[in-house]
Amino acid sequence: MKKTLEDLRENPKVELFIRKADEQLAGLGYTEHGIRHATWVSKNTGYILRELGYDSRIVELGKIAGFLHDIGNLINREHHAQVGAVLAGNILEEEGFDLDEVADVMMAIGNHHEEDGYPVSVLSAALILADKADVHRSRVRKGTVNLDNLQKDIHDRVNYSATKSFIEVDATKKIVRYKIEVDTKIAPVVDYFRIFLQRMLIASKSARFLNAKFELFINDTKMM
């Protein structure tokens, strides 16, 4: 019987490491990267792969890569993708995953960060697309949601302005689409591109790797 994400989540080390990694990022002033983000990315990585016609095992490995992708933040934010790939690989080996699957998940995690990664495989492309779509006010830390802090921190401001965000896959037309609703009273749309343009570029490359097109809609207006 092949191992699944549910088997992995029974390992107490997994969620502990994700929670501790998020605690470190909270101390550094980053938005939420904890269990909520891991679960969201896991679900949407699987969704993208499933809707684009990949088999059930690839979908499952995508969900696993999505859940573990930020675990490297436990050690340090710098090079967290590569460190996370090693940590995840060790955990998957301990859990008895096939080595070729371990390698595929490691490759995906090691390439998910837009600053030093690239869509080099089906898993990495889907993971990148899922990860870069998670922009939402629920990622802003409690205690920072006040006018002064939102004005000072563009990342908090943009995330807090996003009242709704989701991924939509048109399997017939082979389109992966981000749909985001932004409260422009909190942040103008241009602020989104000021900080996330690099993410959109790697998302577009990732869609092409999956033989799909990438589209971005903000407030029902097509931006890309």
Q: Which helix (H) or strand (E) holds 125?
A: helix 122-132
Strand partners, 167: 178
Given this model, what pLDDT does residue 146 score?
A: 64
Given this model, what pLDDT does residue 35 score?
A: 97
Place of tokens 């985001």: 180
Given this model, what pLDDT does residue 152 score?
A: 74
CATH number at residue 15: 1.10.3210.10
Place of tokens 């904890």: 34
Place of tokens 């990585």: 45
Give the Cβ contact number of residue 97 at 10 Å.
Answer: 22
Per-residue pLDDT of the chain (224 residues), as tens digits, is 899 999 999 999 999 999 999 999 999 989 999 999 999 999 999 999 999 999 999 999 999 999 999 999 999 999 999 999 999 999 999 999 999 999 999 999 999 999 999 999 999 999 999 999 999 999 998 766 665 667 678 888 999 999 999 999 999 999 999 999 999 999 999 999 999 999 999 999 999 999 999 999 999 999 99
Task: Name the pTM for this structure.
Answer: 0.95
Helix axes 56-68, 35-51, angle to 10 degrees: 160
Domain range holding 66?
Answer: 5-222
On whether the CB atoms of residues 154 and 195 are closer than 8 A, the answer is: yes
Given this model, what pLDDT does residue 191 score?
A: 94
Given this model, what pLDDT does residue 214 score?
A: 98
Given this model, what pLDDT does residue 1 score?
A: 83
**CA gap 39, 89 in Å, rounded:** 19
Give the Cβ contact number of residue 211 at 10 Å.
Answer: 9
Number of domains forming the structure of the chain: 1
Q: Is 103 exposed, middle or buried (0-12, 13-18, 19+ CB in 10 A)?
A: middle
**CA gap 204, 176 in Å, rounded:** 9
The full length of the chain comes to 224
Distance of CA 151 to the CA centre of its chain: 25
